[in-house]
Amino acid sequence: MADTSQAPAERAAPVIAVRGATKHYGAVRAVDGVDLEVAPGELFGLIGHNGAGKSTLFKMMLGLIPATAGDIRIGGSPVTGSGFRAVRRKIGYLPENVVLYDNLTGHETLEFFARLKGAPASECGPALERVGLSSAARRRVREYSKGMRQRLGFAQALLGRPRILFLDEPTTGLDPEAIREFYLILRGLKADGVTMILTSHILAEIQERVDRLAIMAAGKVQAVGTVQDLREQMDLPLWFRVRLAHEDFHHVRAVLGGLPVLAIEAREDHVAVECQRESKMVVMQALASLGDKVLDLHVHEPSLEDVFFGFSD
């Protein structure tokens, strides 16, 4: 099987290249020898329990805190070098806790950040519109809900038309519709070739949306790859959910006789069949041999949550 755990060498040089990144706070190994590569235009997820080291790694990658050891390059420039200043202009960052000034309006807030970034003030209106805050642009931030504050934080990250986006828990406080809109924006940015790395605790949310992800635990990267790569690395069993007419349930047992299945359970309106991944096709063929008796058939792959607990526990 192809190794997609790291960006393949034949692809363009990685936008983010982390080698042996380490950050110690006294005895705490917040980040402990992390290697990571993010390819141009990739949407990369970083997941892990509270305190796993995600935000610390983000800050190191942005050159905001010095590493105890290791080499971190963004766009080929070491984040500690003088050349990083130019690269930084191409980076947008949404911190975990974005600091906003309650007395400013949403528009004034963006004007403030635009000045800091050297971005034209003309970008502020469109950025607010992009995150759905146009109608609240003249209201003071003190009146903003949690989700509106988060959107405003995202809008500031978009100022200056960044080519690389670091988004630390970007969907915290967003309602389901706003989360969907947020990922639509990311999809548009990805189509424009923007490279993005984001953290999230909502695994179901990022499962279908990131190209690859890394699972961090205790400062280390435990696994890297696509969701499917990680499923295969964990070798978790999968489930078939077979719906038949009730009187036909016994046929399932009959066609699966002698096959390497882990469990067959008759449920209220279906039969659940569990097997290892390598047996998936033989089990599927056996079930297909039931022909018209099968009313419906679903394969349930392990979720990212199943995989996550497998790697991080």
Ligand X SMILES: Nc1ncnc2c1ncn2[C@@H]1O[C@H](COP(=O)(O)OP(=O)(O)OP(=O)(O)O)[C@@H](O)[C@H]1O
Choice between 66 and 188, CB closer to ligand X: 66
Phi, psi of 248 (to 5 degrees): -95, 0
Choice between 206 and 256, CB closer to ligand X: 206
- Residue 55 binding ligand X, by CB under 6 A: yes
Of the residues 7, 15, 17, 30, which one makes contact with ligand X according to CB under 6 A: 30
Choice between 51 and 147, CB closer to ligand X: 51
Of the residues 7, 38, 52, 203, which one makes contact with ligand X according to CB under 6 A: 52
CB 174 → ligand X: shortest distance, Å?
Answer: 17
Q: Can you give the three-state secondary structure of the chain, one letter per residue?
A: CCCCCCCCCCCCCCCEEEEEEEEEECCEEEEEEEEEEECCCCEEEEEECCCCCHHHHHHHHCCCCCCCEEEEEECCEECCCCCHHHHHCCEEEECCCCCCCCCCEHHHHHHHHHHHHCCCHHHHHHHHHHCCCHHHCCCEHHHCCHHHHHHHHHHHHHCCCCCEEEEECCCCCCCHHHHHHHHHHHHHHHHCCCEEEEECCCHHHHHCCCCEEEEEECCEEEEEECHHHHHHHHCCCEEEEEEECHHHHHHHHHHHCCCCEEEEEECCCCEEEEECHHHHHHHHHHHHCCHHHEEEEEEECCCHHHHHHHHHC
CB 262 → ligand X: shortest distance, Å?
Answer: 34
Distance of CA 180 to the CA centre of its chain: 14
CB 38 → ligand X: shortest distance, Å?
Answer: 17
Choice between 132 and 173, CB closer to ligand X: 173
- Residue 21 binding ligand X, by CB under 6 A: no
- Residue 25 binding ligand X, by CB under 6 A: yes
Q: Binding segment for ligand X among 7-15, 46-54, 156-164, 240-248 (CB under 6 A)?
A: 46-54
CB 215 → ligand X: shortest distance, Å?
Answer: 11
C-alpha–C-alpha distance, residues 18 and 20, integer Å: 7
CB 234 → ligand X: shortest distance, Å?
Answer: 21
- Residue 54 binding ligand X, by CB under 6 A: yes
- Residue 51 binding ligand X, by CB under 6 A: yes
Of the residues 35, 71, 96, 108, which one makes contact with ligand X according to CB under 6 A: 96
- Residue 28 binding ligand X, by CB under 6 A: yes
CB 216 → ligand X: shortest distance, Å?
Answer: 6
CB 43 → ligand X: shortest distance, Å?
Answer: 19
Residue type, 182: F
Choice between 172 and 233, CB closer to ligand X: 172
Binding site for ligand X (CB under 6 A): 25, 28, 30, 48, 50-56, 96
